[in-house]
Amino acid sequence: MEFRITHRATGCRVRTGEIRTPHGSFETPVFMPVGTQASVKAVSPEDLTGAGVRIILANTYHLYLRPGHQVIGRLGGLHRFMNWAGPILTDSGGFQVYSLTPLRTLTEQGVTFRSHIDGSTHFIGPEEAIDIQEALGADIIMAFDECAPYPSEYAYVQRSVRLTTDWAGRSLERKKRTDQALFGIVQGGMYSDLREISARELVALGFDGYALGGLSVGEDRTTRERVIQETIPFLPGDKPVYLMGVGTPEDIVEAVALGVDMFDCVMPTRNARNGTLFTTAGRMTIKNARYAQDERPVDSACSCYTCANYSRAYLRHLFMAKEILSYRLNTIHNLAYYSRLMADLRAAIREDRLTTYRASFYELQGKGIG
């Protein structure tokens, strides 16, 4: 992987860049739709490309359990398996194991857990996480980490940081493939000193990029932004910074202004299936009766397949009738909205007008949907 900074804002960490991988390149800041099961829910790879998506995320934990990383490896890796020609990032599975706290046992070696599918017992440590991701064949893979719950006592998070550093080193030692980039994941909860320790220790190990983990786990937005702002200065300026699991358009705008390069979240796809559409003027709840005879597209500023061909009235009808097509058309629009948001942010950074863009973004959101 090659990360090239294409424009730096004056006096801060804000920048645009390009990341080149064996399966193509993409510009940063970038948003990665989540394809948990080697599928971004409700849409095809062709739909993703049409919506402006250039890189997707797949989930190590879920693909390990079903259909199994060995199966995917034998079938040519994730790209061939899911017919996606572009770059793929896989997470390490650490967050999913964290979310299964009642079903797991944590030790220095790794995590023993019970499958949420059939209750069978499994073990994943840093070595196993790397082996799985190498079999999956993603372009960017993640070191195994320990995500502390929120809130957590200082002593617990301190131990979590120690484990994460140890596992990061073991992940580096285990990695064999030279065609995959490996990112380390900074932990430390909401404690400034532990975030600094984690960042410094990971940087000393030397990764291709650095992720901010353990956020968007229940903390308020002010706390999250403080942690981002305090942590990024300890990360190398020539490596990409990835904020995991975030988030809303507002969260992304603010994090980009703090120097973040990469994002992922289920929000655009999950909200689409629940009938919430993102627009230039804010969120639209498509089931509302006011749209029953509305001939306009979801967003007049959007040129996606959905907005170019279907009315609000039709989308409301599909949603109320529980038609499967509703999921597809809504998801295409929301992914196109996120792609356009990132493109607008990149343009604003290149033209040194991010401050005015932020102001206009919130002004438009505040006007409401006509």
Tally of CB atoms within 10 A around 317: 16
Region label for 38, one of left (φ > 0), alpha (ψ between -120 and 50) or beta (otherwise): left
In order of 8, 237, 349, the CA distances from 12 in angstroms are 8, 11, 11
Annotated catalytic residue 344: no
Distance of alpha carbon 240 from alpha carbon 142, whole angstroms: 13
Q: Which two tokens stand for residue 256?
A: 């980009």
Give strand ranges (E) for the chain: 2-8, 15-21, 24-28, 30-35, 56-59, 88-91, 104-106, 111-114, 121-124, 140-142, 181-186, 209-212, 241-243, 262-265, 276-279, 282-285
Annotated catalytic residue 47: no
Distance of alpha carbon 298 from alpha carbon 303, whole angstroms: 10
Distance of alpha carbon 164 from alpha carbon 95, whole angstroms: 12
In order of 29, 110, 234, 259, 352, the CA distances from 10 in angstroms are 17, 43, 19, 12, 8
Helix (H) or strand (E) holding 319: helix 312-320
Q: Which two tokens stand for residue 303?
A: 């040129």
In order of 95, 138, 146, the CA distances from 58 in angstroms are 13, 9, 19
Q: Which of 176, 237, 235, 232 is nearest to 205 (CA)?
A: 235
Helix, strand, coil percent values for the chain (each to nearest 5): 45, 20, 35
CB of 310 closer than 8 Å to CB of 297:
yes
Catalytic residue among 139, 145, 261, 264: 264
Q: Which two tokens stand for residue 205?
A: 């190990």
Catalytic residue among 47, 91, 251, 299: 91
Catalytic residues: 91, 264
